[in-house]
Structure 1
């Protein structure tokens, strides 16, 4: 019986260590303050909150709770969602240089397609 407990105990200890390591790495990142949003889960972000119904209805409910500009995390990607036309105009007018680029998939970088394909162009 002791033989069966030891492997599970080691898995639990390693899992807790990895969780604390990821949490520490996320806390060390300094950057500009983000708009309010629902608290994300580790590694999943807000993906589970989006599965409760239609995405538009879930986003409207979140905008009523957090305001016209919210921050969501989908996995490891941070996303800001704008709900009002006035806020969208302000964001696109003053922060357009931050929104001009795209993130490129690692597969496209590996095959060097990001240099010659119009789909990955800035």
Structure 2
């Protein structure tokens, strides 16, 4: 069962985390009240990634997944995912969008799933 609480990377020991812990279930968005009331109210919007272990701010989640990729020595796989997305998903215009999508796919271990539409193309290299 998912933990819907907002969490930070500092609450977890990266050595104990697995890719399964960080699979993106869906993106989240929350308004956070900063200060004030009424017309002088100050808010900010927080974009997050809901995982099995909690709702991480997007950049923190990305850092944690990268730590797991480095620990597993899978940087070349990650780079290949980014390259594949550049070729196959032209609607991802910004590098940030491609990096985020590639990290989501990597955490899901999509390249190990023979039912993935790009399985043969990706694993043929």
- In the superposition, the TM-score normalised over structure 1's length comes to 0.27
Structure with the larger helix share: 1
Larger of the two Rg values belongs to structure: 1
TM score, norm. by length of structure 2 = 0.27
Higher RCO (Cα < 8 Å, 6 or more apart): 2
